[in-house]
Amino acid sequence: MSKLMAILEKEILVEASGMNIKHYEEIGYTIPRQKDRKGRLNVKKGTKILVKVTDLPRRSSTLVTKICDECGKHIGEIAYASLMANRNKGDGIDRCRKCAMLKNGINRKENVPYEKSLDYFAKTNNKEYLLEEFSDKNDKKPENINYCTTDEYLWICNKCKSEFVMQPAYRSSGGNCPYCIGRKVNHTNCLWTTHPEIAKLLKNKERGYEVLSTHSKSLEILKCDKCGYESEKIINHIRKYGFVCPKCSDAVSYPEKFMASMLDQINIEHKKEKTFEWSKVNNSKKRYDFYIPSLNCIVETHGKQHYDGGFEYHNGGKTLEEERKNDLIKKELAINNGIQHYIIIDCRESSIEYIKSNIMSSDLSVLLNLNEIDWLKCHEYACNSMVKAACDLWNEGVKSTSEIKNKLSIGKGTALRYLKQGAELGWCDYDPKKVSSKARSINGKINGKKKSKKVVQLSPKREFINEFESMEAARIATNAKNIPAVCKGIFKSSGGFLWMYKEDYEKNKDYLLSLPEVQVSRERKVIQLSLNGEFIKEWSSVKEATSISHGIRRVCKGRQKTAGGYKWMYKEDYDNIYKSTNKGVKI
CATH number (domain holding residue 273): 3.40.960
pLDDT at 92 over 80: no
Neighbours of 215 (CB within 10 A): 15
DSSP per-residue codes, 70-133: TT--EEEEEEHHHHHHHHHHTTS----HHHHHHHHHHHHHHT--GGGBHHHHHHHTT-THHHHH
Residue 285 shares a structural domain with residue 215: no
Three-class SS of residue 181?
coil
User: Residue 563: which domain range?
Assistant: 526-581
Spatial CB neighbours of 414, under 8 Å, sequence gap ≥ 6 = 405
Q: Which of 221-225, 425-429, 540-544, 575-579 has the highest mean pLDDT?
A: 221-225
Can you give the pLDDT at residue 553? 84
pLDDT at site 448: 44
Q: Which of 75-84, 170-179, 310-319, 390-399 has the lowest mean pLDDT?
A: 310-319
* CB-based burial, 270-282: b 16+ in 10 Å, e otherwise: bebebebeebeee
Phi, psi torsion values for 33, nearest 5 degrees: -130, 160
pLDDT of residue 525: 84
- Confidence at residue 436, expressed as pLDDT on a 0 to 100 scale: 60
Asked if residues 315 and 326 have their Cβ atoms less than 8 Å apart, the reply is no
Note whether 261 and 378 are same-domain residues: yes
Q: Is residue 186 part of a domain?
A: no
pLDDT at 581 over 60: no
Predicted local confidence at residue 585, as pLDDT: 44
Calculate the dihedral angle through the C-alpha atoms of 316, 322, 325, 330, rounding to the nearest 10 degrees.
-20
Q: Which residue has the higher pLDDT, 432 or 484?
A: 484
In whole angstroms, how far apart are CA 577 and each of 534, 554, 574, 586? Answer: 13, 19, 5, 10
Q: Is residue 56 part of a domain?
A: yes
Q: Are 367 and 357 in contact (CB under 8 A)?
A: no
pLDDT for the residue 578: 66
- Alpha helix ranges (H) inside 316-385: 320-336, 352-360, 364-367, 375-383
Let me know if 460 is exposed, middle or buried by CB neighbors in 10 A (0-12, 13-18, 19+). middle
* Mean pLDDT, all residues of the chain: 84
Same domain, 518 and 538: no
Strands 163-166, 63-67: pairing kind = unpaired
The helix-helix angle for 375-383 and 352-360 (nearest 10°) equals 130
468 and 572 assigned to the same domain? no
Long-range contacts of 321-325 (CB under 8 A, 24+ apart): none
Whether residue 315 is found in the same domain as residue 366: yes
**567-570 and 284-285 as β-strands: parallel, antiparallel, unpaired?**
unpaired
pLDDT digit string, tens, across residues 306-343: 888 766 555 445 788 888 999 999 999 999 999 999 99
Task: Answer whether residue 341 is part of any domain.
Answer: yes
Please check whether residue 157 lies inside any domain of the structure.
yes
Is 576 within a domain? yes
Name the residue with higher pLDDT: 503 or 549. Answer: 503
Same structural domain for residues 216 and 327? no
CATH of the domain at 518: 1.10.10.10
One domain, residues 61 and 85 = yes
Q: Is 179 inside a domain boundary?
A: no
| pLDDT on residue 171 | 94
In three-state secondary structure terms, 136 is coil
Residues 62 and 89 in one domain: yes
Q: What pLDDT, on a 0 to 100 scale, did the predictor assign at position 214?
A: 61
191, 212 contact by CB (below 8 A): yes
**Cβ of 39: how many Cβ atoms within 10 Å?**
6
* In-domain check, residue 26: yes
Q: Of 20 and 110, which is predicted with more confidence?
A: 20
Lowest average pLDDT, out of 7-11, 96-100, 138-142, 171-175, goes to 96-100
What was the pLDDT predicted at 547?
67
Domain finish residue from 522, 542, 562 = 522
One domain for residues 293 and 195:
no
Residue 230 lies in a domain: yes
Tell me what pLDDT residue 213 has. 61
The lowest-confidence range among 55-59, 506-510, 548-552, 553-557 is 548-552
pLDDT of residue 369 exceeding 50: yes
Domain count, the chain: 6
Low-confidence winner among 7-16, 267-276, 354-363, 565-574 (lowest mean pLDDT): 565-574
Task: Answer for the pair 236, 210: CB distance below 8 angstroms, yes or no.
Answer: no
Lowest mean per-residue pLDDT among 11-25, 127-141, 410-424:
410-424
For residues 91 and 17, membership in a common domain is answered with yes
Domain closes at, from 480, 502, 522: 522
Task: List residues bridging with 164 in a β-sheet.
Answer: 155
Are 423 and 483 in contact by the 8 Å Cβ rule? The answer is no
137, 208: one domain: no
Domain boundary among 522, 549, 567: 522
Contact between 378 and 359 under an 8 Å Cβ cutoff? The reply is: no
Contact between residue 290 and residue 271 where contact means Cβ atoms under 8 Å apart: yes
pLDDT tens track for 121-170: 999 999 999 999 999 999 999 998 999 998 999 999 999 999 999 999 99
Does position 70 have pLDDT exceeding 70, yes or no? yes
From residue 367, how far is each of 265, 272, 294, 297, 331 by CA, in Å?
15, 19, 11, 10, 19
Per-residue pLDDT, 263 = 95
169 versus 215: which is more confidently predicted?
169
User: 308 and 363, same structural domain?
Assistant: yes
Least confident of 141-150, 166-175, 233-242: 233-242
Residue 413 pLDDT > 60: yes
